[in-house]
Amino acid sequence: MNIFFNVVLCVLVIYFVFAINRSLRMSRISVSLIEKYENDKKNPQLIDEIFAAISDDVLLKRIVKRHNATKRDIGRLHAKLMKWGDFRKYNRYVPITSFFNVSTLEYLLEHKNDDAKALTEKMMNHFHF
C-alpha cells in the first residue's frame, strides 16, 4: 500500500512539473509577443506567430482543432479584442494574452461571432483588468 501511494505521489509531482513548465512557456511566448509588437500592433505577422504558438501547444492545439479555427478566425478575434481592449496591464495585453489560456481561447472560439465589446469585457474580467 505504501508503494502505491509513493507511485501516485511521484506521478502527481511529474504532472505538476510538466504543467508548470507548459504554463511558464506559454507566458514567456505571450510576453515576448507583447513586447515585440508593442509599437506595431497591426502587423499581420503577429497573427501568424499567435497561430503558430497555439498550434504547437498540446492543450491549445486540441481547442483549435475542435473548433476548426484558422488564422483568419484568430485575426478576426484579435481585431475585435483590439477595438475595446487595446491597453496593457503589466505582462497582460488582452488582444494577445487571451489566445494563450485554455479557458479564454475556448470561450473566444465558441463565441467568435459575438459582439466585440462583450468578448473584450469577458476577457478583461478573466484577467482582472
Each residue of 11-68: pLDDT tens digit? 999 999 999 999 889 889 989 998 888 887 788 888 899 999 998 888 899 999 999 9
Report the Cα–Cα distance between both ends of the chain, in Å, rounded.
48
Say if residue 6's pLDDT is above 80.
yes
Cell for 100?
494563450
Say if residue 129's pLDDT is above 80.
no
DSSP letter for 94, please: H
* Residue showing cell 504547437: 56
Cell for 90?
503589466
Each residue of 61-117: pLDDT tens digit? 999 999 998 889 899 999 888 888 777 778 788 888 889 988 899 999 988 888 888
Q: Are 74 and 99 in contact (CB under 8 A)?
A: yes
Q: Distance (Å, rounded) from C-alpha 34 to C-alpha 74?
A: 16
What's at 87, amino acid-wise? Answer: F
CA 31 to chain centre: 11
Whether the pTM exceeds 0.85: the reply is no
